[in-house]
Chain A
Amino acid sequence: MMKLKERRKPDDPGDSGSLNDLSFLLIIFFLVIAGFNINKGYLMQIPEKDKPRLVHLEDLVKCELTADGAISLDGSTVTAEQLEVKIREKKGEYPNMTFFLLIEPDAPYQSVIDVVHTIRALDVENFSFKMKEAAL
Chain B
Amino acid sequence: MSDVGFLLLIFIMLISLMNQRHEEPIEYSEAARIEKTQEKDNLEIWIQKTGRMTVEGAEIGYQDLELLIAQTIAEKPLTRVHIIADRSTPYKYVNGAVSILQKMQHRVVSFVVKEAL
Contacts and interface: CB of A to CB of B under 8 A. Distances in A.
Interface of A: 16, 19-20, 23-24, 26-27, 30-31, 33-34, 37-49, 65, 67, 103-110, 112-114, 116-117, 120-121, 131
A131 B89 CA distance: 14
B2 A117 contact: no
Contacts of A46: 98, 101-102, 106-109
Contact of A131 (B6, B21, B95, B111): B95
A34 B115 CA distance: 17
Given A26-B9, A49-B102, A42 B34 contact: yes
Contacts of B13: 26, 30
B38 A38 contact: yes
Interface of B: 1-2, 5-6, 8-9, 12-13, 15-16, 19-21, 29-38, 42, 44, 82, 84-92, 94-95, 98, 101-103, 105-115
Contacts of B90: 67, 105-109
Nearest to A114: B31
Given A40-B35, A40-B37, A117-B33, 9 more contacts: A23-B5, A23-B8, A37-B16, A41-B34, A42-B31, A42-B35, A42-B113, A116-B111, A117-B32
Contacts of A105: 90-92, 95
A31 B12 contact: yes
27 contacts: A23-B2, A23-B6, A26-B9, A30-B12, A31-B12, A34-B12, A34-B16, A39-B37, A39-B44, A41-B111, A42-B35, A43-B37, A43-B109, A45-B108, A48-B105, A49-B102, A105-B90, A107-B90, A108-B87, A108-B91, A109-B29, A109-B88, A112-B91, A112-B94, A113-B113, A114-B31, A117-B31
Contacts of B105: 48
Contacts of B35: 40-43
Contact of A39 (B1, B29, B108, B110): B110
Contact of A42 (B42, B102, B110): B110
Contacts of A107: 90-91
